[in-house]
A = this chain, B = another copy of it.
Amino acid sequence: MSLYLTIREMHKVLGQFNVWFDKATAHATAKKYDPETMLHWRIAPDMFPLSRQIQTTCDQAKFAAARAAGKEVPSHPDTEKTLGELRARVATVMTYVDTFKSADFDGAGDRMVTTPRWEGKKMTALDYVTEHAVPNFFFHATTVYLLLRHNGVEIGKKDFLGTLTFR
Contacts and interface: CB of A to CB of B under 8 A. Distances in A.
B136 A161 contact: yes
Interface residues of A, number: 42
Interface in A110-147: 112, 118, 121-124, 126-127, 130-132, 134-136, 138-139, 142-143, 145-146
A30 interface: no
Interface string A136-162: 101100110110011010000100110
Interface in A1-33: 1-3, 5-6, 9, 12-13
A167 interface: yes
A103 interface: no
B2 A126 contact: yes
Given A2-B3, A2-B130, A132-B161, 19 more contacts: A1-B126, A2-B109, A2-B126, A5-B126, A9-B131, A9-B134, A12-B131, A43-B146, A43-B149, A47-B149, A118-B166, A123-B165, A123-B167, A127-B164, A127-B165, A136-B157, A136-B161, A138-B142, A142-B146
